[in-house]
């Protein structure tokens, strides 16, 4: 990763201040891992890192931030590529 890394416990990107993973961070993950199982494993690892960094955070909120929201962005990226 580049400057788009998480700052826990707030869960913001140190590079741009957006909720992490920001769109540039997700795009970097897609470039590195593709859109299949390797990406899913990377997102799960991010979820695990967040849960360890902020053990009092609600699991569903971390799931939304680290897995569901990035996958929605990837779906938008790939839907646009298929046109």
pLDDT reported for residue 78: 85
Report the SS3 class of residue 19: strand
Q: Within 13 A of 67's CA, how many CA atoms are on the CB side?
A: 17
Would the pTM of this model clear 0.75, i.e. be above it? Answer: yes
pLDDT per residue as tens digits for the range 6-56: 999 999 999 999 999 999 999 999 999 999 999 999 999 999 999 999 999
Report the SS3 class of residue 48: helix
Residue 59: φ, ψ to 5°: -60, -40
């Amino acid at each position: 990763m580049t400057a788009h890394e998480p700052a826990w416990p707030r869960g913001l990107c140190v590079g741009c201040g957006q909720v992490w993973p920001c769109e540039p961070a997700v795009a970097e993950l897609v470039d590195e891992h593709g859109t299949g199982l390797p990406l899913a494993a990377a997102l799960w690892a991010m979820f695990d890192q967040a849960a360890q960094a902020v053990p009092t955070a609600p699991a569903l909120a971390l799931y939304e931030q680290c897995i569901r929201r990035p996958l929605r962005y990837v779906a938008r990226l790939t839907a646009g590529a298929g046109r």
